[in-house]
Amino acid sequence: MITRKSTTIALLTATFGFMLAFSACVQSTEQTETQIESYTPGLAVQMKYMQYWTHKVGLSIEAENLELADFYHHELEEAAEDLIDSIESYDGYPIAQLTESMLVPTLDALEDALDEGNWSDVREAFKAVIISCNSCHVATDHGFIVINDGFGNNPFNQEF
């Protein structure tokens, strides 16, 4: 026979169990969000993203798709900003300063060329971006990493 007392105990037990499970869930979510917010990708991971966006810009330029090239250029700019904001130096090299002084001006020039829509100027500005990448690699003793425009059959914009 179910009594009022046993029903009350069952409800209290269920409520307490729910509260414990809910608080554990909330705590776990808060810890995960904190971990995600505090995670900063390393230099190699950030370079991977920059290479990815650079390749997409190059393929968009090769296809003369202005809207797409502009979109990927914006993503590349954001990747450069993230790098500048998160990696001041690496192995003694001033990564943020080099990115700011070498890459950003070429990205600005590419943006101007894209805004004008002259494909010849866009290609020249894109070449300057690639040159700045390779010049930075040389300046940081990573000259063996050679980026190219990514046109053609190579699925990466890199020389191997």
Note whether 31 and 1 are same-domain residues. Answer: yes
Distance CA 49, CA 140 (A): 19
Burial of 147 per CB tally in 10 Å (0-12, 13-18, 19+): buried
Report pLDDT digits (tens) over 71-125. Answer: 999 999 999 999 999 999 999 999 999 999 999 999 999 999 999 999 999 999 9
Residues 77, 115, single domain; the answer is yes
The model's pLDDT over 17-62, given as tens digits with 9 standing for 90+, comes to 665 566 555 555 566 666 667 788 999 999 999 999 999 999 999 9
Q: Same structural domain for residues 48 and 24?
A: no
Per the CB < 8 A criterion, the answer to whether 124 and 83 are in contact is: no
pTM of the full predicted structure? Answer: 0.77
114 shares its domain with 134 = yes
Q: Are residues 146 and 76 in the same domain?
A: yes
Does residue 126 share a domain with residue 47? yes
Q: Is residue 34 located within the same domain as residue 90? A: no
Domain with 28 in it: 1-39
